[in-house]
Each structure stands twice: as structure tokens, then as C-alpha cells.
Homo-oligomer: A and B are copies of this chain.
Amino acid sequence: MPEHTFDDFEAGRVYALGSKVVTEDEIVAFARQFDPQPFHLDPEAAKDSVFGGLIASGWHTGAMWMRLYVDSLLGGASGQGSSGIEELRWLAPVRPGDTLSGRLIVLEVTSSESHPDRGTIRIRGEMVNQDGVTVMTMVSRGRFARRQN
């Protein structure tokens, strides 16, 4: 994986972040630890919920997107964390067996005036399922070191 620094990002660039199959076991394990609502935790109880069956916690979907991002780009990059998310939408349920594909669009790159060795990128993140349905979108920021020459 190439080492990505701040200087390798440019506004408008789109990255495919790879994909991931979501299993029922993973949905339930995440729910048990972090979001034990019946429709995330229990396939039987979920049938009677408004979702009609088990769905992944939205935090789980976000975390799976993050993993695709780290594996595709951030792992070999000079990332220095994030100050937060501007907005995040959970648009459609994520169900067991779904294959989720991550995308990242660079919206804006801003070099730091106070710290010339770093910069911030503003990105749109997307997660799309096997039917082409976008299940999650978000806009967030990430800080990166600049290339050291």
C-alpha cells in the first residue's frame, strides 16, 4: 500500500475502499458489546420490530466503513486523527449477508497555517450494499502529516 500523506490528496478524487460481507454473528457480537437493542441483538425479537428482522447497529456500520478506510488508505498513511463528523446519515438497514462497499470522496484539502507540517482533508464517506443502495453517508475531517522531503 502506498504511503499517503496530505500532499497525495486532491479535491474531487474518489477512492474505492473495498468491500466486506456482514455476518449475523458480527452484527450480534457488536450489539452485545455496544448496542444491545432487540433489533440488533436477537433475530427472533427483531422480526417483531419496525425493521422486520435483524439489522446492524449504525455504529457498527460506521466502524466497518472505518476499517475499509484504514485498510485501503489510512494504514499506510500519515493520519493524525479526526476532529469529528459534520453529519452522518443512516439511510437504509444493513442486514446479515449484505456486502458493503466503501467509498471516499475528497471534498477539500486545507494546509495548516499554524503547522506547516500538516493539513486537513474534508471527505465524504459512503457505504453501499450489493443492490446499489447507499446505506450510510457522512462528511468528516481528517488530519494528515505532509510529505517530508
Residues of chain A whose beta carbon lies under 8 Å from any beta carbon of chain B: 30, 33-37, 39, 49-51, 55, 57-60, 62-64, 66-67, 70-71, 74-75, 79-90, 138
Check if A35 sits within 8 Å of B66, measured CB to CB. Answer: yes
Check if A34 sits within 8 Å of B67, measured CB to CB. Answer: yes
B-side contacts of A75, CB under 8 Å: 36-37
Count identical subunits in the complex. Answer: 2
Please pick, from B34, B51, B80, B88, the residue contacting A88 in the complex, using a CB distance under 8 A: B88
Given known contacts A36-B70, A37-B79, A70-B37, A59 and B63 CB-to-CB distance under 8 angstroms: yes
Check if B34 sits within 8 Å of A63, measured CB to CB. Answer: yes
Please pick, from B30, B39, B66, B86, the residue contacting A87 in the complex, using a CB distance under 8 A: B86
B-side contacts of A74, CB under 8 Å: 37
A-side interface mostly: mixed
List 9 A-B pairs, Cβ < 8 Å.
A34-B67, A35-B67, A36-B67, A36-B70, A49-B80, A55-B81, A63-B63, A83-B90, A84-B87
Given known contacts A85-B85, A85-B87, A89-B84, A35 and B63 CB-to-CB distance under 8 angstroms: yes
